[in-house]
Amino acid sequence: MAQGDSQILWVTVKGSERAATVTACVDNSAITFVDANGVTQPRTDSPEPVINIYKLRKANDGWTVVSRTFPDNPFCTSEGR
């Protein structure tokens, strides 16, 4: 089970009325993973904030995420904005 919260460090949005690309720097360093016995498990991912790229499409009742990807260099930098 995951415990803790992610933090969004920055977000950019580009798009139109029907589609958008949301790029976000997400910091998951406060999240810990605990097994069924309550033992905290070691992290297997990088504790550094990483860029998530979401493609959204407008539907009648709101926006839908249609994909999530990561850039070749996923670590958050000012160049990634």
**Across the 81 residues of the chain, what is the mean pLDDT of every consecutive 10-residue run?**
93 96 95 92 86 95 95 79 53
> C-alpha angle with apex 74: 79 to 67, nearest 5 degrees?
110
Burial label for 51, CB within 10 Å (0-12, 13-18, 19+), is buried
pLDDT reported for residue 47: 78
